[in-house]
């Protein structure tokens, strides 16, 4: 159950929603889904599950009817995605293997709460907001190995707003799988007349070529934890959203192409994701203070980017149907002095490193797993690094439960993990938005760096047009 604290926030009730068949079939039998080494990779941050909140405007919808539809449709969606209703446990008879186990009667904690004194417009803003207050809108995972929980918070006094928070344990599934579930749940709630998406495939060694050695190393890390790690404190952090428009993203690509022609080289492919990550990485590095409150120009800066490997592995993994984790990590690294350089040189350095890292990961070399340990050690020894959560491909702004598109979607857990959260621009015009949480002083530094970067890009685009 979510903590009943914070100005005007109250938990009303928590119920357990169990899977039910849309055709009235018998209850699901007991089932177990073994974890692969790609699931076990996320043992390292098991105390920091992914927390996401969707803010909706309800209009004239009856609140009680909305809450009832949400619970009923959640039950239907869980029938196909039953592992989310189960729990993580040690596989019986094994000492270092884990599974998601479901038995009849298992379900998802569904908490109903209310908040008095804050409306959707305030919560859906891009400007910095207190991360601690946003965290009220996502549920805690119940003890005992639960991997998924839901919280619906009605915004008072008008009851015209809803904050729908979901928390999922990353060892259960990656972002592609969890958003596939959310889209399925939303379609069931909205009463969409089209056939529902096919049930997810169960994790099988036929799809994932198991790496016992890697699994062992991750499992040892989990078992060596004597107590559950205390989650990082979000007190004092601000959460803000920054958007790069499609036009600005195109200007980055044009600058890169023009500079490549000038240098007589052929650059790696520059996508919108590459362009966005390059600018955000630069701003983050410039806003990371060193001595004398200035960016530390010595050493190296690192960016860790998740890459979906479903269509790139051998044998191939079903792209839209696979439920679990099928994500690799790629590492972009650059000298800090090159990355924070003002103008074209800094932008090209950032774009080149991000593009090269992503290209290397998407070509998929199975032996790359052998180098993960060394790369992580290298990143950790160089101080603060940046990592990425979410993706514009997940289409989170299309998660419509029948009362309209979300006014805002925030991955609030990045305030704990230090990652940035990517999503498609909610205006639908082709931009990309990024959520980031920082202390007040660094947030102001980051904001100034971002504003300056966008102004420079706009100026460069204008010069090119003339």
Comparing 320 with 73, the larger pLDDT belongs to: 73
Q: How confident is the model at residue 7 (pLDDT cuts 50, 70, 90)?
A: low
Q: How confident is the model at residue 310 (pLDDT cuts 50, 70, 90)?
A: confident
Comparing 240 with 192, the larger pLDDT belongs to: 240
Domain topology for 237-465: Chloramphenicol Acetyltransferase (3.30.559)
CATH of 9-223, one of 3.30.420.40, 3.40.50.300, 3.60.21.10, 3.30.559.10: 3.30.559.10
Please give the pLDDT value at position 226.
44
pLDDT at 353 over 90: yes
The SS3 call for residue 35 is coil
Selection from 34, 271, 75, 50 nearest residue 177 by Cα: 50
Domains 9-223 and 237-465 share a fold: yes
CA quadruple 437, 438, 443, 447: dihedral sign: negative
What's the rounded Cα separation, in Å, for the pair 86 and 83? 5
Please give the pLDDT value at position 196.
58
- Determine contact, residues 191/402, Cβ cutoff 8 Å: yes
Q: What is the mean pLDDT of the segment spanning 66-95?
A: 95
Please give the pLDDT value at position 297.
66
Domain ranges of the chain: 9-223, 237-465
What percentage of the chain reaches a pLDDT higher than 70?
A: 91
What's the rounded Cα separation, in Å, for the pair 459 and 457? 5
Asked which of 157-171, 242-256, 300-314, 402-416 is least confident by mean pLDDT, the reply is: 300-314
Q: How confident is the model at residue 225 (pLDDT cuts 50, 70, 90)?
A: low
Tokens (6 digits) for 11 = 């938990």
Q: How confident is the model at residue 2 (pLDDT cuts 50, 70, 90)?
A: very low
Please give the pLDDT value at position 401.
96
Please give the pLDDT value at position 151.
98
What's the rounded Cα separation, in Å, for the pair 32 and 88? 10
């Amino acid at each position: 159950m979510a903590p009943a604290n914070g100005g005007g926030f109250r938990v009303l009730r928590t119920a357990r929603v169990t899977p039910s068949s849309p055709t009235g079939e018998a209850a699901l039998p007991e089932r177990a889904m073994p974890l692969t080494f790609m699931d076990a990779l996320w043992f390292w941050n098991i105390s920091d599950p992914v927390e996401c909140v969707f803010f909706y405007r309800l209009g004239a919808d009856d609140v009680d009817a909305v809450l009832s539809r949400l619970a009923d449709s959640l039950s239907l969606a869980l029938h196909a995605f039953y592992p989310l209703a189960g729990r993580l446990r040690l596989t019986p008879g094994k000492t270092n293997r884990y599974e998601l186990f479901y038995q009849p009667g298992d379900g998802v904690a569904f908490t109903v709460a209310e908040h008095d004194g804050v409306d959707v417009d305030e919560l859906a803003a891009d400007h910095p907001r207190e991360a601690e207050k946003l965290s009220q809108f996502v549920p805690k995972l119940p003890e005992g190995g639960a991997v998924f929980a839901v919280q619906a918070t009605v915004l008072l006094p008008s009851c015209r707003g809803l904050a729908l928070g979901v928390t999922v344990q990353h060892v259960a599934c990656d972002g592609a799988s969890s958003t596939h579930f959310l889209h399925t749940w939303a379609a069931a709630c909205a009463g969409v007349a089209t056939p529902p998406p096919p049930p997810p495939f169960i994790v099988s060694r036929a799809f994932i070529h198991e790496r016992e050695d890697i699994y062992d190393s991750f499992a040892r890390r989990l078992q060596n934890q004597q107590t559950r790690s205390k989650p990082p404190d979000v007190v004092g952090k601000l959460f803000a959203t920054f958007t790069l428009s499609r036009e600005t993203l195109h200007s980055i690509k044009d600058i890169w192409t023009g500079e490549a022609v000038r240098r007589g080289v052929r650059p790696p492919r520059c996508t919108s994701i590459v362009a966005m990550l390059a600018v955000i990485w630069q701003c983050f590095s410039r806003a990371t203070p060193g001595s004398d409150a200035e960016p530390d120009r010595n050493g190296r800066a690192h960016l860790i980017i998740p890459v979906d490997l479903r269509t790139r592995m051998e044998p191939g993994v079903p792209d839209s149907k696979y439920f679990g984790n099928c994500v690799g990590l790629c590492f972009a690294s650059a000298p800090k002095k090159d990355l924070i350089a003002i103008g074209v040189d800094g932008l090209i350095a950032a774009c080149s490193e991000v593009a090269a890292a992503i290209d290397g990961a998407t070509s998929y070399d199975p032996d790359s797993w052998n180098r993960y340990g060394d790369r992580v050690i290298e990143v950790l020894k160089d101080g603060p690094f940046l990592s990425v959560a979410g993706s514009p491909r997940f289409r989170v702004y299309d998660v419509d439960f029948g009362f309209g598109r979300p006014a805002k979607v925030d991955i609030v857990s990045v305030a704990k993990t230090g990652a940035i959260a990517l999503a498609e621009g909610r205006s639908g015009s082709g931009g990309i938005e990024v959520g980031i949480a920082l202390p007040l002083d660094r947030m102001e530094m980051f904001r100034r760096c971002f504003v300056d970067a966008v102004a420079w890009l706009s100026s460069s685009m204008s010069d090119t047009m003339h």
